Amino acid sequence: MSGGRSITVLNVAEKPSVAKSVATILSRNQGLRVRDGRSRYNKIFEFNYAIRGQSCNMIVTSVTGHLMELAFEERYRKWHSCDPVQLFHAPVHKFVPEDKLDIKRTLEQESRRAQWLVLWLDCDREGENIAFEVVEVCTAVNHHLNIKRAHFSALIERDIHDAVQNLVQPNKWFADAVDARQEIDLRIGASFTRFQTLLLKDAFNIDSVTDDRNIVLSYGPCQFPTLGFVVERYWEIQSHEPEEFWTINCSHNSDDGISTFSWTRGNLFDYTCAVVFYEMCVQESTATVVNVRRQETLKYPPHPLNTIELEKRASRYFRMSSEHTMKVAEDLYQAGFISYPRTETDCFSQRTDLHGIVREQQEHQIWGAYAQRLLDPESRLWRNPSGGGHDDKAHPPIHPTKFSAGERGWSQDHHRLYELVVRHFLACVSQPAVGAVTTVEIDIAGELFSTSGRMILARNYLDVYRFESWGGSTIPTYVSGQQFVPTTLTLDSGVTRPPPLLSEADLLSCMDKEGIGTDATMHDHIKKLLDRFYATKDANTRFTPTNLGEALVMGYDDMGYNLWKPNLRAIMEHEMKAVSEGTKRKDEVLASCLQQMKTCFLDARVNKQKLLEAMEVFFERSNGSGGDENRAVGEVVQLCGLCQDSDMVLKRNRDGNYMVGCLGFPQCRNVVWLPGSIAEATVTSDRCTLCTPGPVYLIQFKFRQLEIPPNYNANHLGCVGGCDDILRQLTEICGTGSRVSARGRGTSSSNVQRDNPGQSVCIFCQQVGHSSNDCPSQSVGSRSAQRRQSGESSVSCSSCGSPCVLRTANTANNRGRKFYKCQSQECNFFVWEDNVDNGNGGNSVQRSNVRSSGSAPSNLNPGQNTGRGRGRGRGRGRDRDRDRGQGQIAATFVSATGEPISDRRCFVCGDPSHFANVCPNRGA
């Protein structure tokens, strides 16, 4: 019933592929004509159609994303043209950039003869904004255009026909929100980038970091929080303090095999408590099976694939960078093998022909057979996919759109990515894997232990999704009430480990969670970190901040700003939402947002010293930059014992605290932090007569009297070579001015020592691997040191009488502390070296020395963990040892890790050298 004269309707889509789909669907592929436009990518489709009875000559074309850009007016473009703060107000304008002019000309040309303009842009905020850009271009040449918006949620027939028959008005609020976002991003980005680049680039020697390339120290509201995630994790790792924990393990060997039971209490951080439980178990060690549970468990296939999941999985399975993944995906999409790769959607529309997609894959040599099984109702392998709850209303999940057995010209990554998309799709429409899990619970002396085994009953989707596995494990059969004697019962220890560096997949998750970037841009932000030399990525796709990246974040953090955290973006997003919902006006949000950012900018400029100081931690001042020469170079104290290459010089950090650091920094990070109570320090020409290798120049210290105990002299000629007890004691008492010991941010724990023990050198013994607080050369006296030197071992095993060997403990509580241990595998004899002289188990050695740290309790050191309030009641090892009381410890048991347990005896034979579980007389 198309009546009257035909009108010409210009339809504009966001991308060529959508223009083609819309034209194909509406024309039903009949009478569809295609011609070239001015732009080679954006074809023009023509056909006849009736909208609500009105006969129309339909012209369908496209743009390629945004048609316009936002930029400062010419006079502000040059970096030195204005004070960067002016960029918060400088006039900006929207214009069509050079590379989009062809598209603009096509739109103008087609608009002139059209009566209607129908906007088929993606149905999100950006799409709405692009719609208004198109409107601006088209109405500029034809004021009479009737503007309409088509709302569609998927490129499928019903939606597209519905959309064109129910045209609406474009939503200005949505477009306004994007306008505001663009302007804020531009003003903040340009002002801060110019500010920090001009401030820092030439003031420091950062060329080594940047390949001598002319670099820009950019700031952006997405790239900086992304960097923030990387730095925060890095700090978390650096500040991690390993904590020892204890657990009881039980194993049982039977004819059916071996079972390993783990303690249901898990890991205990209280050593004494763990020992009490352990002894209970050992003394009453018969195990009773109290529960045998069999349960069917399912392992579900993944949700349909969206962009972030594609990037994460390609990174995990193939170590492909997100940026490269998107490039390859784009190729596959352009060639028609996969659907549109930039989508948030992870659920299929009910109207998608899922079976049709599977049918296409039946002929594949490798996974074709699986596709055939899926389609066979007898196999009962099919399952309608469950969605992950995301839908951008514009694109379906990523799925194969055309069969391929591999194309000539595909790289290995093209093959891999296509395979991932196909296998993922086939997995989505498959039944979950089914397993039978058997859990056995046993009771030993009232303590519960459990073990479990899994049998895979049906692999289902795992047959095609080779990227995931679900291991099976078997355990012997147990019945409730059964009793047995454990084969081993051990008290084992472990230490907590820091989290790993962020992987690319982790980083994408952080960004997704905090709303940094969009599915189409996240990989760009990650790449930017690498391009700007803010971070590096290792072979395992894990990110480490560079000195430059860390310094920038540190600088802003020291100012007290969260500019490197996702908060700023979250606030902006919240404001944008208000604009898109019409509860706030664009101008209002722009004004308040920019005002706040401008205040922040001015404040940052006032505090620019913080940025400079943070940079100083990592970089040398460049020549003639006017930096404090004394601070940058310092006075030579000795040759660095770590790199053996550069001098160690006396320096002050920006907080005024003294340190002796290696000039080889940042390649060598050797540093000796000095007491925080130093008012002045000067390197003298006097050399230490004791410390080697020399020369080590003595330092004249002047301490702030009120900050040191009364029995110490405020003036002290000291040595950092390792011989100076007073200096060591004051360091322990007063703490150091180490930045890392004072920082401890970005983690849930408070101030903790962040020095990397692998990189710092002990002030006393000059050895790498521990700090002065844990220095073994200081914690045992000169007598024991002499003993070590002579190789003398005067302690004999109380059990077998063999001479003991001297070992050094490497546990958190007693790192560096020496102990004697029987060499025999059979004996568990153990005694701390510093208990030997008290008659605590040794037989011949006279103790000549008490632990010299006794006068300076380590918990006065603010950098230590005493103030962290972990609340687990763990004292440091040496304190705990004191608490135990001197002179009462007899031969002690050792655990698997060489830790003493108690002075108890084997309940079977009474021998103090072992527990009943390993008693040779057991069962005799």
Known catalytic residues are 340
Please give the DSSP secondary-structure letter assigned to residue 440: E
Task: Mark residues 395-414: x for contact with DNA by CB under 7 A, - for none.
Answer: --------------------
Residue 224 as a binder of DNA (CB under 7 A): the answer is: yes
Q: Residue 197 interacts with DNA (CB under 7 A)?
A: yes
Report the C-alpha gap between 852 and 753 in whole angstroms: 22
415 forms part of the interface with DNA (CB under 7 A): no
Which phi and psi angles does 449 have, rounded to 5°? Answer: -130, 155
Among 104, 148, 194, 424, binds DNA (CB under 7 A): 194
Report whether the peptide linkage leading into residue 476 is cis, meaning its omega lies within 30 degrees of zero: no
Candidates 80, 143, 213, 408: give the one binding DNA (CB under 7 A). Answer: 80
Rounded to 5°, the CA angle 572-574-578 comes to 115
How many residues interact with DNA (rule CB under 7 A)?
A: 53
Q: Least distance in Å: CB of 218 to DNA?
A: 3
Q: Is 72 in the site for DNA (CB under 7 A)?
A: yes
CB of 80 to DNA, least distance (A): 6
Query: By C-beta, is 395 or 878 nearer to DNA?
Result: 395
Q: At 581, is the secondary structure helix, strand, or coil?
A: coil
What gap in Å lies between CA 59 and CA 109, rounded to an integer?
12
Residue of the chain from 37, 170, 221, 400 that contacts DNA (CB under 7 A):
221
Report if residue 79 touches DNA, rule: CB under 7 A: yes
Q: Where are the beta strands (DSSP E) in 772-889?
A: 804-808, 818-822, 830-832
- Span interacting with DNA, options 1-9, 180-188, 243-251, 820-828, rule CB under 7 A: 180-188
Specify the stretch interacting with DNA by CB under 7 A; choose among 11-19, 429-437, 690-698, 859-867.
11-19
Residue number, 193 or 503, with CB nearest to DNA: 193
Instruction: Give the nearest distance from C-beta 104 to DNA in angstroms.
Output: 11
The residue range among 177-185, 347-355, 490-498, 695-703 that interacts with DNA, by the rule CB under 7 A, is: 177-185
Cα separation, 330 vs 567, in Å, equals 32
**Of 691, 690, 693, 682, whose CA–CA distance to 717 is shortest?**
682
Considering only 196-204, 422-430, 755-763, 795-803, which stretch makes contact with DNA by CB under 7 A?
A: 196-204
From 220-228, 315-323, 446-454, 722-730, span contacting DNA (CB under 7 A) = 220-228
Kindly tell me the burial class for residue 711, based on how many C-beta atoms sit within 10 Å of its own C-beta (0-12, 13-18, 19 or more): exposed
Check binding of 610 to DNA (CB under 7 A): no
**Quick one: which segment of 219-227, 433-441, 464-472, 815-823 binds DNA (CB under 7 A)?**
219-227
Please identify which residue in 201, 240, 788, 851 interacts with DNA, judged by CB under 7 A.
Answer: 201
Of 16, 627, 737, 842, the residue at the interface with DNA (CB under 7 A) is 16
- Among 198, 445, 632, 918, indicate the residue that binds DNA (CB under 7 A): 198
x/- string (CB under 7 A) for DNA, residues 33-52?
Answer: --------x-----------
| Cα separations in angstroms, 646 against 523, 597, 633, 686, 763 | 40, 44, 12, 20, 17
Quick one: tokens of 720?
A: 């950092």
DSSP, residue by residue, 693-709: SS--EEEEEEE-GGGS-
Please identify, using beta-carbon distances, which residue of 545 and 634 lies nearer to DNA: 545
Helix (H) or strand (E) holding 280: helix 271-283
**Considering the complex, what minimum distance in angstroms separates the CB of residue 439 from DNA?**
47
Choice between 17 and 54, CB closer to DNA: 17
* Helix ranges (DSSP H) in 797-876: 833-836
Minimum gap (Å) between residue 68 Cβ and DNA: 7
We find the least distance from the C-beta atom of residue 87 to DNA, in angstroms, to be 7
Q: Of 194-202, 281-289, 548-556, 891-899, which segment contacts DNA by CB under 7 A?
A: 194-202
Neighbours of 389 (CB within 10 A): 8
Q: How far apart are CA 114 and CA 103, in angstroms?
A: 16
Member of 108, 241, 330, 837 binding DNA (CB under 7 A) = 330
DSSP state of 148: E
- If one asks whether residue 189 binds DNA (CB under 7 A), the answer comes out as yes
709-717: long-range pairs with CB below 8 Å, 24+: 709/733, 717/684, 717/686
**Among 45, 132, 152, 219, which residue interacts with DNA (rule: CB under 7 A)?**
219
Q: How far apart are CA 662 and CA 674, in angstroms?
A: 14
Say whether residue 17 binds DNA (CB under 7 A): yes
CA–CA gap between residue 393 and residue 496 (Å, rounded): 45
Six token digits for residue 2: 């198309």
Residue with tokens 């001297």: 806
* Contact flag: residue 61 with DNA (CB under 7 A): no
Closest by Cα among 277, 276, 271 to 814: 271
Mention every residue, 6+ apart, whose C-beta is less than 8 A from residue 392: 122, 124, 343, 344, 345
Closer CB to DNA, 181 or 818, in the complex? 181
Please say which residue, 182 or 431, places its beta carbon nearer to DNA: 182
Q: What does the block give as tokens for 914?
A: 């072992």
Candidate list 48, 64, 810, 902; residue touching DNA; CB under 7 A: 64
Rule CB under 7 A: say whether 672 interacts with DNA.
Answer: no
339: contact with DNA by CB under 7 A: no
State the binding string over 105-144 for DNA (x if CB under 7 A, else -). -----------------x-x-x---x--------------
Range in contact with DNA (rule: CB under 7 A) among 77-85, 501-509, 681-689, 746-754: 77-85
75 forms part of the interface with DNA (CB under 7 A): no
In the complex, what is the shortest distance from the CB of residue 154 to DNA, in angstroms, rounded to a whole number? 14
Q: Which is nearer to DNA, 198 or 643 (CB)?
A: 198
Shortest spacing between CB 321 and DNA, in angstroms:
16
> Which of residues 32, 147, 216, 292 is near DNA by CB under 7 A?
216
Strands 146-149 and 116-120: parallel
Give me the least distance between CB of 9 and DNA, in Å please. Answer: 22
Q: What is the end-to-end Cα distance of the chain in Å, rounded? A: 105
Q: Of 500-529, which residues contact DNA (CB under 7 A)?
A: 517-518, 520-521, 524-525, 528
211-215: Cβ within 8 A, 24+ apart: 211/533, 215/532, 215/533
> What is the closest distance, in whole angstroms, from the C-beta atom of residue 314 to DNA in the complex?
17
- Of 690, 686, 689, 714, the residue nearest 698 (C-alpha): 686
Please report the beta strands in 475-516, taking only residues with DSSP state E, as ranges in sequence order.
Answer: 483-484, 488-495
Positions in 247-286 near DNA (CB under 7 A): none
Helix 586-606 × helix 567-580 angle, to 10°: 160
User: Nearest to residue 65, comparing CAs of 102, 16, 105, 98?
Assistant: 16
* Residue 346 binding DNA, by CB under 7 A: no
Q: Residue 290 interacts with DNA (CB under 7 A)? A: no
Q: Is 622 in the site for DNA (CB under 7 A)?
A: no
CB under 8 Å to 399, separation ≥6 — which residues? Answer: 304, 305, 338, 339, 348, 357, 421, 425
Decide if residue 203 touches DNA (CB under 7 A): no
By CB under 7 A, name the one of 171, 193, 306, 503 that touches DNA: 193
Q: 35: how many CB neighbours lie within 10 A of its CB?
A: 10
Which residues are near DNA by CB under 7 A?
Answer: 14-17, 41, 64-66, 69-72, 77-80, 99-100, 122, 124, 126, 130, 181-182, 185-186, 188-190, 193-194, 197-198, 201, 214, 216, 218-224, 330, 334, 342, 517-518, 520-521, 524-525, 528
